[in-house]
Amino acid sequence: MKVNRIPGILLIMALLSASCLFQGCGDPIPDEEQQKIDADPDYAAKSFLRKQYMDVYYFWRDEVKDRNATLKPYDYNIYDFFDRMLYREDRWSWMCDKEEYISDETGVISGTWGISLGQAYEYYNDYNLRVRYVWPGSPLERYGVTRGAQLTHINGVSVQEDETGFTNEKLQYFQKNYYKSPQNLTFRLKDGRDTTFTASMAQSLSTRTSLITRVFQPGDFPGLTEPVGYFLYMAFKANFLDDITEAMTTFRSAGVKKLIVDLRYNGGGDSRASQLLMDCLAPADAVGKPYVVRKHNSYLASLDKSFSDEENTSIVKSNENALRPDRIYFIVGPGSASASEMVINGLRPYMGDKLQMVGDTTYGKPNGMYVLMYPGSNEDYEAYLDGDFSKLQWVFLPIAFFNQNSAGEAIPYDGFIPDKYRPDDVFHDFGVEEENIRACLTHMVSGTWPAITRSSQAVSTKATPKTGYRIDREEDSPRYGLYKVLRGGF
């Protein structure tokens, strides 16, 4: 696992005394205030965050610096202090503790059912709780739980729609009891059977970034005359670059020239993974040309030329595993964020109408961040680079730059609108009958988009709205949509 180093300009600042950094050189601190400082275990981390990171890296530095200087760190816990310093239009910056960061980097989830639940209310007007995807090794796999299975009861209590709809009482019961372990659960499986069992959450579940790599062959879909690759890619993680390479190798071996890349649940991640995916997907004539320019605040660029536009232009690189497909269909939705949107945006100038987006409007995250850690001395960062996180306490990810493609186009704040709308069809597994995949294959074969198929499994397919409450989704979290760049060489 690699992390960024602190640029040289910050190392100079770090030589200042703690009193100069946190209170102003020579200013006496009243006894009452000193007592509050001494009682705050995170005071040093908060002060370091403001002076070393927010006052330098933050994209909206100039807009918030004077206001942030008046904040008293001891008046807030560290999460609230971070939020208080953000620009009013910033819905992307976030922070986490050591455990959350390491879990995200390694793909190891603790205390989990290993599934994701969703509701098909956007088009199908169905608020039942259905499985969106299952991680291999989920404790529910053995009971036949797959994508499309419906959670109907917890401890014998119904959490499904009835004549009263999906009520707030059912939502609250679900939220209170679903995350308990062990738990008695009832699922309606894809074949219509109900199964009830008692299971325990996995204490530790290792995930990958590629959930499905598949080749659809002629005969799998009417009219298909050549192999088509399908890649369900869940997250951009630098520790799992082999997932991309292995998928491309599979597609190359099968003679794939048309590809479906499913990013509907991909909230972004590490720039090293997005770089590799871009290198593998871009056409040959894009090699050596820009695909993203990262624009920083003017203060940071004036301190260090490595933050200038010229130094922060990434190009498409040659790669022996590159697939170079002649047509790409991206399946997208509200869960497609950040690095997912950036790869699509980077490809658009080079592929034109050979790139199609199918699904729903993407999240809308035109920017990214650096991984900034505390403690953050030279020695600390050297340890992090060696994989020693024993001293790490906090990880800060404030927005530090905005992305543009080679044509100067940014990702829309409101997200990309797909070329063809399709709902997330949680009634079918990831195959030729699933609504988004079916639409892509139909367009490949005929050049036209099929009508949306109404699901017979939905509670109601009528346009009349029903009573329903939404469960929390990952993309509803203010921490959703991560695109981080790891800098080195300072």
In this structure, the answer to whether residues 306 and 402 fall within a common structural domain is yes
What backbone torsions phi and psi does residue 64 show, to the nearest 5 degrees? -120, -10
Per-residue model confidence (pLDDT) at position 288: 97
Buried b / exposed e along 242-261 (16+ C-beta atoms within 10 A): ebbeebbebbbebebbbbbb
Whether residues 92 and 120 share a domain: the answer is no
pLDDT at residue 266 in the model: 96
Cα distances (angstroms) measured from residue 236 to each of 89, 263, 284, 338: 25, 10, 23, 10
How much is the pLDDT for 200?
97
Separation between Cα atoms, residue 92 and residue 189, nearest integer Å: 37
Residues 102 and 147 in one domain: no
Q: Are residues 84 and 129 in the same domain?
A: no
Indicate if 279 and 381 belong to the same structural domain.
yes
Q: How far is CA 37 from CA 87, 137, 193, in A?
A: 25, 47, 61
> Is the domain of 116 the same as that of 235?
no
The pLDDT, as a whole number, for residue 2 is 35
pLDDT of residue 256: 98
**Are 194 and 221 contained in the same domain?**
no
Q: Give the span between the Cα atoms of 7 and 20, in whole angstroms.
A: 20
pTM for the whole structure: 0.86
Per-residue confidence (pLDDT) for residue 19, from 0 to 100: 34
How many domains, the chain? 2
Structural domain for 143, as ranges: 111-204+463-476
Same domain as 122, residue 75:
no
CATH of the domain at 129: 2.30.42.10
Per-residue pLDDT of the chain (490 residues; tens, 9 = 90+): 333 434 433 333 333 333 344 444 556 888 899 999 999 999 999 999 999 999 999 999 999 999 999 999 999 999 999 999 999 999 899 999 999 888 877 778 889 999 999 999 889 999 999 999 999 999 999 999 999 999 999 999 999 998 888 999 999 999 999 999 999 999 999 999 999 999 999 999 988 899 999 999 999 999 999 999 999 999 999 889 999 999 999 999 999 999 999 999 999 988 999 999 999 999 999 999 999 999 999 999 898 888 988 899 999 999 999 999 999 999 999 999 999 999 999 999 999 999 999 999 999 999 998 989 999 998 999 998 888 999 999 999 999 999 999 999 999 999 999 999 999 999 999 999 999 999 999 999 999 999 998 776 776 544 455 668 888 877 777 667 777 675 533 2
**SS3 readout for the chain:** CCCCCCCHHHHHHHCCCHHHHHCCCCCCCCHHHHHHHHHCCCHHHHHHHHHHHHCCCCCCHHHHHHHHHCCCHHHCCHHHHHHHCCCCCCCCCEEEEHHHHHHHHHCEECCECCEEEEEEHHHHCEEEEEEEEECCCCCCHHHCCCCCCEEEEECCEECCCECCEECHHHHHHHHHHCCCCCEEEEEECCCCCEEEEEECCECCEECCCEEEEEEECCCCCCCCCCCEEEEEECCECHHHHHHHHHHHHHHHHCCCCEEEEECCCCCEEEHHHHHHHHHHHCCHHHECCEEEEEECCHHHHHHCHHHCCHHHEEEECCCCCCCCCCEEEEEECCCCCCHHHHHHHHHHHHHHHHEEEEECCCCCCCEEEECEEECCCHHHHHHHHCCCCCCCCEEEECEEEEEECCCCCECCCCCCCCCEECCCCCCCCCCCCCHHHHHHHHHHHHCCCCCCCCCCCCCCCCCCCCCECCCCCHHHCCCCCEEEECCCCC
Kindly report the CATH number assigned to the domain that includes residue 365. 3.90.226.10
194 and 59 housed in the same domain: no
> Same domain, yes or no, for 302 and 390?
yes
- pLDDT value for 65: 97
Question: Is residue 65 located within the same domain as residue 102?
Answer: yes
Q: Are residues 94 and 118 in the same domain?
A: no
